[in-house]
Structure 1
Amino acid sequence: MTRCRLCGSEATASVVDLGATPPCESFLAADQLDQPEPAYPLHLRVCTDCWLAQIPPLITPEETFKEYAYFSSYSTSWVEHARTFVADAVQRVGLGTEGSDAFVVEVASNDGYLLKHVVDRGIRCLGIEPSVNVGAAARDKGVPTLTEFLSPQTGAAVREEHGPANLVVANNVYAHIPDVVGFTQGLRALVADDGWVSIEVQHLLTLIEENQYDTIYHEHFQYYTVASAIQALASGGLTLVDVELLPTHGGSIRLWARPAEVAGEPTQRVADVLAREKAAGLQELSGYTEFSARVAKVRRDLLKFLIEAAERGETVVGYGAPGKGNTLLNHCGIRPDLLAYTVDRNPYKHGRFTPGTRIPILAPEQIAVDKPDYVLILPWNLRAELVEQLSYVHEWGGRLVFPIPELSIVEAASRKVTA
């Protein structure tokens, strides 16, 4: 990478180098196991001018998202998160008031997990989703969905056909697009001149503080602080007016933006988060220098646990097959000799294998059949939800293992951390 994709600067510094891995969502079918598998460098750098953290665009969104393995609706907590957001946004933006013709657009709307709540309220909406398979699932739920990537041209075409959107939602997509300026211009094309844009994206502050390095993968092209997000939004004519700190994905920010002409002064919460980021050193290199060493410790601790468990004759299986899990598995070099298999609620992944590490993915019911000694939780960000879902593991004395932010072993019955 020679230039920052936001400001064009050549001043970039290394944050962490995770080697080379396959794209995290490129799950393998059984007949692909004897075929070559491409791997790409995974090296996070930060621009020392605008402080946008980023990786080179070595794969294209078209390669990742035309057919996608992630379906949002398989996470109970995420669906509830979306329902609560819709209820709050209706009040905040004044949607659905009597006599109004409100219009909501969600970009990267996945399988309709969020817009179904908008449909249920009788509010006009449209999803823009590039993945053919998950977009079809959304339409099956009754959510109008356009199969397309967002660009300034797409935004203008939707506005021409459907009118401007009172609210544009872009949850967990702002990191997934290499052309951050063009995407932001697309958001501005969609939103009404007095409308609102809501963006949820992982917060670089918590990624650094909580060792969440497994959320670095090839389809995440950039990693935001509020400070860098302000500059990204401005590149498309949007101004940040408020921010919320969320627990989702290990720590996210919800950015509320409006067209620059009507934005006004930002709330105190914006100033407060900017101050936290500055105190953490994220606007100077000092905030990034120790991260690589802490990542290496996560790797050593997890490998030590898995090797010692194998030497004791104990069984370890995984729970979940998220993209972040594949960064962790590949960086640690974990293979089926240390992790016999993993399970996932998404039937699309059953019978497939994790990219790079070739670990089989089975249905969740296999855990109760095999009664392993340990279950390694790969979507650690759903900790509360999964401790509850997997409470039955205590029936045979099994325990849950969380690798991040540091290795912890949880008694499923008592939920007490023992190591």
Structure 2
Amino acid sequence: MMKCRLCGSADLAGVVDLGATPPCELFLTAEQLDRPETTYPLHLRVCTSCWLAQIPPLITPEETFTEYAYFSSYSSSWVEHARRFVDGLELRPDSFVVEVASNDGYLLQHVVERGARCLGIEPSANVGAAAVAKGVPTITAFLSPETGQRVRDEHGPADVVVANNVYAHIPDVVGFTRGLRNLVADDGVVSIEVQHLLTLMELNQYDTIYHEHFQYYTVAAAQRALAGGGLVLVDVETLPTHGGSIRLWARPYGTPSERVHDLIAREKAAGLLELSGYADFAARVARVRRDLLRFLVDAADEGKTVVGYGAPGKGNTLLNHCGIRPDLLAYTVDRNPYKHGRFTPGTRVPILPPERIAEDRPDYVLVLPWNLRDELVEQLAYVNAWGGRLVFPIPRLEVV
């Protein structure tokens, strides 16, 4: 029986069952197309005791992140988001900034430019190597209480600890949080960015449910998770990134701000601290699937060509849940060369360089990383030259 990984309760209620899919970042090579793929159930549940939404820990972080296909710097808007964050920090020449899951140095490169001391902790050796090539000091490790203490012993306590888009990726929530506590100075601060369950539910963002994301946070659940590891949630901001995120500010000591209380009150008003708030989500997810499939089938019947833009993890949840294969989506493109010549897991859609769109002039481009809408509408403006149109599947089908 599955138990809540935060509070240990066995009282978990189903929210939406997306069937079974392969891990979303295990892109296939041509040689792997004739081999079987392992799939895992993708069933989101919510704990009715602490309201942490979660999926079973069916894969380990080591299986996903030892070698990783996602490089943050291929999103220009995300790099700019990181630059603005660093510019807002009150860094001194002797400040020490540590980022957990630092990826390819997309954020810490700005700390290096400011002349402050920094260190990245990145579990994926291939991605961490890209950070080192940029001049960002990086170690290859998963964060645990022991890792946090070792870094503190070797480098000193951190004034700022950053953990962007990783707090959902670890099954041992309390252990990871203790690692953050061991890293940060007693008067330091921890900044965590993670998708907000409130916007996920309100905007049908079900494609962000995948096996890398073990849990999905309300502010209320995050406050409890931080407390379990020895940190106090002192403030929270809402962000537009990833379709709607929260930036949690935590310290070893402190008092929650009014914004913390206000956001928890919003979550309560939305019904996310009781089962009623989750009742119709599965039906709204099914509607997204039907609308997208109807559009793709109609386009195929009319002889129209549809290709994809992007090969993000969320896209693979969508493609697998909808059963979309190359007969409906000829291929998708991605800026990341690592993915070129590979195929999406489960659905086997070819991944090509972005230049292919201008060569083929398709009728429609299905945008899979919809969270980068503003950036990609600008990047793909050239599609208008031949009358092509962009298609956004989330929160509802929209042809632009």
TM-score by length of 2: 0.99
1:354-374 CA distances to partner (integer Å, 9 max, x unpaired)? Answer: 000000000000000000000
2:195 corresponds in structure 1 to: 202
Identity %: 80
How many residues are aligned here?
400
Q: Any residues of structure 2 matched to 1:241-260 within 5 Å, and which?
A: 241-259=234-252
In the TM superposition, residue 267 of structure 1 has moved relative to its aligned partner by: 1.6
2:121 corresponds in structure 1 to: 128
1:312 to 302, 310, 323: 302
Q: Any residues of structure 2 matched to 1:29-44 within 5 Å, and which?
A: 29-44=29-44
Q: Is the partner of 2:31 in helix, strand or coil? A: helix
1:267 corresponds in structure 2 to: 257
1:85 corresponds in structure 2 to: 85
Distance 1:305 1:20 in 2: 24
In the TM superposition, residue 272 of structure 1 has moved relative to its aligned partner by: 1.2
1:221 corresponds in structure 2 to: 214
Distance 2:350 2:95 in 1: 46
Regions of 4+ moved over 2 Å: none
2:57 corresponds in structure 1 to: 57
Q: Is the partner of 1:233 in helix, strand or coil? A: helix
Question: Any stretches of 5+ residues in structure 1 without a counterpart?
Answer: 411-419
Q: Is the partner of 1:166 in helix, strand or coil? A: strand
Distance 1:408 1:210 in 2: 13
Question: Any stretches of 5+ residues in structure 2 without a counterpart?
Answer: none
Q: Any residues of structure 2 matched to 1:16-415 within 5 Å, and which?
A: 16-88=16-88, 90-91=89-90, 95-96=91-92, 101-259=94-252, 262-263=253-254, 265-410=255-400
1:299-358 CA distances to partner (integer Å, 9 max, x unpaired)? Answer: 000000000000000000000000000000000000000000000000000000000000
In the TM superposition, residue 2 of structure 1 has moved relative to its aligned partner by: 1.8
1:206-250 CA distances to partner (integer Å, 9 max, x unpaired)? Answer: 000000000000000000000000000001100000000000000
TM-score by length of 1: 0.95
Distance 1:266 1:344 in 2: 41
In the TM superposition, residue 102 of structure 1 has moved relative to its aligned partner by: 1.1
Give the residue type in structure 2 aligned to 1:169: V
Q: Is the partner of 2:163 in helix, strand or coil? A: strand
In the TM superposition, residue 382 of structure 1 has moved relative to its aligned partner by: 0.3
Q: Is the partner of 2:229 in helix, strand or coil? A: coil
1:172-211 CA distances to partner (integer Å, 9 max, x unpaired)? Answer: 0000000001000000000001110000000000000000
Distance 1:267 1:11 in 2: 30
Q: Is the partner of 2:295 in helix, strand or coil? A: helix
Q: Is the partner of 1:372 in helix, strand or coil? A: coil
1:58-89 CA distances to partner (integer Å, 9 max, x unpaired)? Answer: 0000000000000000000000000000011x
2:15 corresponds to 1:15: yes
Distance 1:310 1:369 in 2: 20
Distance 1:123 1:43 in 2: 43
1:28-64 CA distances to partner (integer Å, 9 max, x unpaired)? Answer: 0000000010000000000000000000000000000
Give the residue type in structure 1 aligned to 2:286: A
Give the residue type in structure 2 aligned to 1:147: T
Distance 1:275 1:247 in 2: 20
Distance 1:182 1:236 in 2: 7
Question: What is the root-mean-square deviation in Å for CA atoms of aligned residues?
Answer: 0.6
Deviates further, 268-277 or 341-350: 268-277
Distance 2:257 2:173 in 1: 24
In the TM superposition, residue 271 of structure 1 has moved relative to its aligned partner by: 1.3
In the TM superposition, residue 108 of structure 1 has moved relative to its aligned partner by: 0.1
